[in-house]
Amino acid sequence: MLDNNKIKLMTKLAIYEKNEGQEDVKLSKYYKTDFLRYQIIKTVVSVTISYLLVLLVVAFYRSEYLIQKAVELDYKAIGTKVLGIYIILLVIYLFGTIVGYSFKFDSSRKRLFKYRKNLKKLRQYYRNEENELK
């Protein structure tokens, strides 16, 4: 005999497993702090490489000016400005990373908790069916 509640539950579980489930299971292997640290390291590396590439492009674009004024330039002021912009960008991206990935991790845990709760319900359905057959 078909049980509509059991079918709905199995459908919910299958949809979850196919869509978010795979990523949520991967995230469940991490502690929140470890997951955030990993994302922060990726962000720092990405921002640093991107910033250096932008500086390189700007230096190539302004190379004629830089060569002509090489002796007259205030390298300390330029270095301070470049470092200040880098730190500001890094802080902005790190804040976004922490907030975004914390939300992602927390929502993943909630979905996984709901998934496990539904699995327990499904197990109970099967146990009830076994008891009825005996």
> Residue 36 class from Cβ within 10 Å (0-12 exposed, 13-18 middle, 19+ buried)?
middle
* The pLDDT value given to residue 2: 66
24, pLDDT greater than 90: no
Taking CA atoms, 26 is separated from 94, 98, 108, 109, in Å, by: 22, 19, 10, 11
Domain ranges of the chain: 30-128
pLDDT tens digit string along 95-133?
A: 999 999 999 999 999 989 988 898 898 888 888 888 887
Q: What are the tens digits of pLDDT across the range 58-96?
A: 999 999 988 888 888 899 999 999 999 999 999 999 999
Please tell me whether residue 18 adopts helix, strand or coil conformation.
Answer: helix
**What's the token pair of residue 103?**
């939300």
CA dihedral over 49, 83, 99, 26, signed as positive or negative = positive
- Is the pLDDT at 36 greater than 90? The verdict is yes
pTM for this one? 0.77
